[in-house]
Structure 1
């Protein structure tokens, strides 16, 4: 018997595959291995077809977490008669500074289980709880789009912003509220242009400088290069430059089904005066419209922040995210984010640190934030 199934029996929880089933084929829980390319392809086929799945359920994240961040991964899937019915990607972050946790999924706005049926979803969530106890983590975190456990503590700090991309380019321009539309037109009048980058170089220079000015560590440059390598055409960098060729703003976006997800971004100090940030997101929307995409996913923002207000100014309405926690060795959900007052002095000190030094030591810290 599998170790997790044995633990479940000892705790009084019986796995779905061990009870009578109307189907002659029992539901089995297995672990994805990155070297099994055929299985990874099957996993991704399921993710693309499952309405509950997101870009962050893709198999490629397993390789990124192992190779870039050196985190232990547990990508679980439920299978019946050779067909995948549910997936649950998990990664463990074990840090002396930020604690020991099991998350679906670190560095992702969405996560949790994606399933074709409730039985498979429940089976994987039970397995995740058993795994969390066996690993001795302080908490299990599932970054759900929809609420699944009303009795679990929930982090209500973040919301997401999603909106339909209209079929015609001009219709999308007119759908932007008047004041924000004026900023987009300002960027156009300033002669700005957008370009697709083949490397992460220009993007990373802006991104690293941007997060440094905000007092937070930058993710390693290698991480962004690996995203391009693993996800190929589904990970794209678009940069905005002025008429002299100076790059002012850049965004790294993910593509999933008929959606575009601008995910990481950076801006030069001159970007605001030139309306380069506004122009950037318009250009991404325009290009996405011309590609026939249907959803613009602006990602998550903390409530009450400048990012939150900026996205609302585009006519996007916030939608709640249900980050649910199962607590084991702590009494409350963690607050490892810049909004936590205890990080105020660290943020101020980080802003004053030379950027070269910050870029060298930052990845050692940020890998454990998730």
Structure 2
């Protein structure tokens, strides 16, 4: 669809109480109201914080934050649609809420707010000469005006509620595939250490990168994890758990922490030590940490609906699962995103990840993260 044709499409909003002229841009990095709003909003998460904007923009020069907000009568933020303008000659210019975020939502409380913010986003689409809008959701899906948006459900979220005592949680895990593996890890002498220095992160990154290569997935640029570390580790929103075996790092996981939720985000393990189950040990220790800190949910992150082995792994931890719908404007981009996931190019990239030598694999990862956010 030609960008100029957007002007002839009906607006999302039909309300006379709010309209697109009420929407404003905000810079979360300089406006203290933003993080206060994120902290108070039920959909708020680490990736909504101003630090995420700073981290993404400092790592990727072609991504620019354009956060849309509505204000209340006293000047407080009442709703927001955090967007990034992503420029790419390969995958097309677009507006995304939010790049690289496994969980993200428009920070809204009514469909009326969503409609007005989407009207403003549609106007912005024309201004920046982008092709489409992508809004990823976790809890806000029922508020989206889906009759005027395309959608798909390519991912699911697995999470574990932590209300039960740790002993009760352990009993909910699959006996042979989880509980016995945790016992094996403990018996083998695996030790958990909390990463506290940039050198710990650097060592973990190499393990994470090699894990992604083995699984046929591009690895994020090292600079992204370093920036996230410097942004969120000092504030306590990020922790790094390292698994050591005979003085060797054999596994690690980066978790995000915000309010009552802890989420495993980046994982790596040394395949040579698979028999001592470092991954199961790491997740169990992260769950125990979350429980000790009084969190209510441990999040295993998102999984592709097509990755049945990964979803089975997460199911065996006694998790609940929910769909993570993404919404698109113009609507037909929802189908295009689904087709790309099944395309020959996607399968080719996965095959290349497994077979390329390390220098080329690093370049491929940088390319994919630049163009396929």
> Which residue is equivalent to 2:3?
none
Displacement of 1:239 in angstroms is: 0.9
Change (3 A) 1:292 1:9: same
Displacement of 1:53 in angstroms is: 2.4
Q: Judging by fraction of residues, say which structure has more helix.
A: 2
Change (3 A) 1:331 1:366: closer
Alignment of 1:115-154 (within 5 A): 115-145=108-138, 146-147=141-142, 148-151=144-147, 152-154=149-151
**The one of 27, 50, 73 aligned to 1:59:** 50
Alignment of 1:94-105 (within 5 A): 94-105=87-98
Displacement of 1:85 in angstroms is: 0.3
> Which residue is equivalent to 2:75?
82
Q: What is the alpha-carbon root mean square deviation over aligned residues?
A: 2.7
Displacement of 1:334 in angstroms is: 2.1
Displacement of 1:337 in angstroms is: 6.5
Unaligned runs of 5+ in 2: 1-5
Contact 2:46 2:52 in 1 (8 A): no
> Which residue is equivalent to 1:4?
none
Matched, 1:246 2:242: no
> Which residue is equivalent to 2:321?
318
Displacement of 1:118 in angstroms is: 4.3
Paired residue total: 355
> Which residue is equivalent to 2:221?
220
Change (3 A) 1:10 1:333: closer
Runs of 4+ in 1 over 6 A off after TM superposition: 8-12, 14-17
SS at match of 2:335: coil
Alignment of 1:1-370 (within 5 A): 13=11, 19=16, 28-36=22-30, 39=31, 41-70=32-61, 71-80=63-72, 81-145=74-138, 146-147=141-142, 148-151=144-147, 152-179=149-176, 180-198=178-196, 199=198, 200-232=201-233, 233-242=236-245, 244-305=246-307, 306-327=309-330, 332-335=335-338, 339-370=342-373
Give the Cα–Cα distance (whole angstroms) in 2 for the partners of residues 247 and 337 of structure 1.
36
Query: Is 52-61 or 328-337 further displaced after alignment?
Result: 328-337
Give the Cα–Cα distance (whole angstroms) in 1 for the partners of residues 351 and 66 of structure 2.
36
Give the Cα–Cα distance (whole angstroms) in 2 for the partners of residues 313 and 360 of structure 1.
35
Contact 1:207 1:265 in 2 (8 A): yes
Give the Cα–Cα distance (whole angstroms) in 1 for the partners of residues 43 and 331 of structure 2.
27
TM-score after normalising by structure 1: 0.87
> Which residue is equivalent to 1:5?
none
Give the Cα–Cα distance (whole angstroms) in 1 for the partners of residues 190 and 337 of structure 2.
42
Contact 2:94 2:133 in 1 (8 A): yes
Contact 1:16 1:27 in 2 (8 A): no
SS at match of 1:333: helix
Displacement of 1:307 in angstroms is: 1.3
Unaligned runs of 5+ in 1: 1-7
TM-score after normalising by structure 2: 0.86
Displacement of 1:13 in angstroms is: 4.5
